[in-house]
Structures are given as structure tokens and as C-alpha cells.
């Protein structure tokens, strides 16, 4: 038969004293736990996305599972940190390198935030739907595009100077990367769940072309002349690239390497891909010849300035630079 548990006043006091002693024995841990994770120096801020501004004078890095964005002035090493309202996803720098647009994740306060590069100052936060993904500025700085919407996929076209007014274009399921044509008349968008890329006329908002691709198209990069669209993929095709001739619609597949996390165009028309599981950037020329360029661990994101490509480690947060 179970007895009745009784606690004396002396036992209660002894337990309280023991608790106070235990808390006093770990003052450093208690203090660390009280500091927000984003501000703790012992927490590694892993890289989520990266962009360059001012021709490589500034590096902008968004952090995985953190509400922070850093702007580093490379000449002085000065780092400015900007607090965001949610977890960052993707970045875009305006052509005049004044603003950075960063989308924040659908699971934590989705939206679009604008940050001034010089001084790393927050400028504005804008609503852009329930699940924003990739931002992109037009070359003339008059528009800012944002893909999103997941299954109810959209392209939002925001007008300068304050980007408060937006047109919403229905696209298709799960829009991902976006690339703007050199003349600013159109944009290409990857439809992740429809195995296709589409061309959208920005004046009318109409889809004017659709090209089928291998499964799960993801990130996009458009060549400087607008003739070739480079596409990365998710799933089983994550190790290959698709190159689309935007004039003819012809598609060719390029082997790249294990887990492509980002794509870009480098000097002399080289196709660049960050290989998340090979700690490298691969450079592929027009003839398909490949060069493997060692960089940081688990590179994520890719940005080009001149003959250099930058990426950030998804594990350590360190930025890597390679000559392409």
C-alpha cells in the first residue's frame, strides 16, 4: 500500500537553498541563456545567402536561422549588423549599390526588408505575400521583383522610389529564382513544381514564353547578353545544370557536381556553380571544359565582382573568394 508523501518546512527550505546554490554555481551559463541567440558571440552565424555591392567593396551576408544581416566593408574590415524581423532567405543588391532587398521566411514573419548598404541601416519593411522567395532589381532601378506564393505562385512587381505599390502576376506553382533581361522588359522565373522556366513581360504581366526543363528548376542566372539562361535544380538533378537558349528555347544539360546551391556567370562567359557538398565552385566554359576551384566548406550562395566569385559557408559563415 502506498504511503502518503509529506514534505516538512525544513525540507522545502533545503530544496530552495539547493536551487539557489545551483544557480549561483553557473552564473556564466545563466547569463548566456538570457542573451538572445542572435547576439551571443559563442553562436556560429551560418551563411544563408550572399551578395556583393560597390563592385566588391561591400559583402552582404544573411544568416541561416538567425534574424541578422551583416554588411562588411572589405577595405577597412568594418562590419555592420542589421536586425531583421524574420529569418532571411534571399538577397538582391540594387544596381547603384545603395539598397539590399532581403526576403524573410514564410514560417516567421514573411515579408521584404530594405537595408541601406552604407552604414548598414534598416530602411523599410514591405508586405509581399505569404511566402516570398527571390528578390531582383531591374537594371534601371525602377522596379523590384519578388517571387513567392508557393502553390499559388506569383511575381510581384514593385515600383520605385518607395516600392510600396505592387502589381501581382499569377505565374504557376512554386516560383523560385528570377533573372531580369538586360533591357528590363522581361524576367525569367523558375517554376519549381512545374519543371519549367517562364518569361514574363513586365509591362503587361503576361507570360510570353515557357520552356520545359529537367525536374525541379531552382536558381537562375542570365548571361550578360541575355542569350543564355543558367538553371540549377533540386532533387535528383541537383548535380546538373540546364542551359536554355532564350532565343530558340533549345535546352542542354551540363554536369556540374554534387549539390549545386547557386549559379552565376563569371568573367569570359564562364558558367559558375557553387557545389555545396564538394567545398568548391565549378567554372565551365562555352566548350564544356571544367575547372574546380576550392573554396569554403559547404558553399551557399554565389556573387560575382569582376574576375572574382564570392560564396559563404553554410556551416561556419566564412566568406570565400576565388578568381574565375
pLDDT means per 10 residues, the chain with 324 residues, are 40 42 46 52 77 96 94 96 96 96 94 96 94 97 97 96 93 97 98 98 96 97 97 92 97 94 94 96 94 96 96 96 95
DSSP character for 20? H
3 state DSSP class of 267: helix
pLDDT at 42 (0 to 100): 55
CA neighbor of 73 nearest in space, from 54, 52, 59: 59
Q: How many CB atoms lie within 10 A of CB 119?
A: 10
Q: Which three cell numbers stand for residue 290?
A: 571544367
CB atoms within 10 A of CB 158: 21
Long-range contacts for 145-149 (Cβ within 8 Å, ≥24 apart)?
A: 145/178, 145/180, 145/187, 145/202, 146/101, 146/103, 146/112, 147/171, 147/175, 147/176, 147/177, 147/178, 147/189, 148/103, 148/175, 149/175
| 198, burial (CB in 10 Å: exposed 0-12, middle 13-18, buried 19+) | buried
Q: Is residue 211 classed as helix, strand or coil in its secondary structure? A: strand
Cβ atoms of residues 184 and 140 within 8 Å: yes
Q: What is the pLDDT of residue 172?
A: 95
The sign of the CA dihedral 314, 317, 322, 324 is: positive
Q: What local confidence, expressed as pLDDT, does residue 213 receive?
A: 97
Amino acid at each position: 500500500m502506498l504511503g502518503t508523501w509529506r514534505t516538512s518546512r525544513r525540507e522545502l527550505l533545503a530544496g530552495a537553498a539547493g536551487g539557489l546554490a545551483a544557480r549561483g554555481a553557473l552564473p556564466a551559463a545563466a547569463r548566456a541563456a538570457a542573451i538572445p541567440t542572435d547576439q551571443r558571440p559563442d553562436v556560429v552565424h551560418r551563411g544563408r545567402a550572399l551578395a556583393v555591392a560597390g563592385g566588391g567593396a561591400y559583402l552582404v551576408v544573411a544568416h541561416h536561422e538567425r534574424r541578422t544581416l551583416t554588411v562588411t566593408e572589405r577595405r577597412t574590415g568594418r562590419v555592420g549588423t542589421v536586425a531583421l524581423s524574420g529569418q532571411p532567405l534571399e538577397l538582391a543588391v540594387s544596381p547603384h549599390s545603395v539598397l539590399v532587398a532581403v526576403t524573410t521566411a514564410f514560417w516567421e514573419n514573411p515579408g521584404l526588408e530594405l537595408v541601406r548598404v552604407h552604414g548598414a541601416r534598416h530602411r523599410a519593411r514591405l508586405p509581399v505575400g505569404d511566402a516570398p522567395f527571390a528578390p531582383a532589381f531591374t537594371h534601371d532601378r525602377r522596379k523590384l521583383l519578388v517571387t513567392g506564393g508557393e502553390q499559388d505562385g506569383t511575381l510581384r512587381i514593385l515600383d520605385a522610389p518607395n516600392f510600396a505599390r505592387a502589381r501581382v502576376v499569377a505565374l504557376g506553382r512554386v516560383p523560385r529564382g528570377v533573372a531580369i533581361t538586360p533591357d528590363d522588359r522581361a524576367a525569367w522565373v523558375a517554376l519549381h513544381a512545374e519543371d519549367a522556366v517562364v518569361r514574363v513581360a513586365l509591362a503587361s504581366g503576361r507570360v510570353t514564353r515557357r520552356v520545359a526543363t529537367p525536374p525541379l528548376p531552382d536558381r537562375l542566372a542570365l548571361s550578360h547578353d541575355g542569350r543564355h539562361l543558367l538553371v540549377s535544380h533540386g532533387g535528383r538533378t541537383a548535380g546538373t545544370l540546364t542551359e536554355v537558349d532564350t532565343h530558340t528555347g533549345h535546352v542542354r544539360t551540363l554536369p556540374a557536381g554534387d549539390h549545386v546551391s547557386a549559379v552565376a556567370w563569371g568573367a569570359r562567359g564562364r558558367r559558375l556553380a557553387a557545389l555545396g557538398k564538394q567545398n568548391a565552385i565549378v567554372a565551365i566554359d562555352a566548350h564544356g571544359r571544367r575547372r574546380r576551384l576550392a573554396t569554403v566548406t559547404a558553399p551557399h550562395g554565389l556573387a560575382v565582382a569582376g574576375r572574382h566569385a564570392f560564396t559563404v559557408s553554410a556551416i561556419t559563415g566564412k566568406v570565400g573568394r576565388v578568381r574565375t
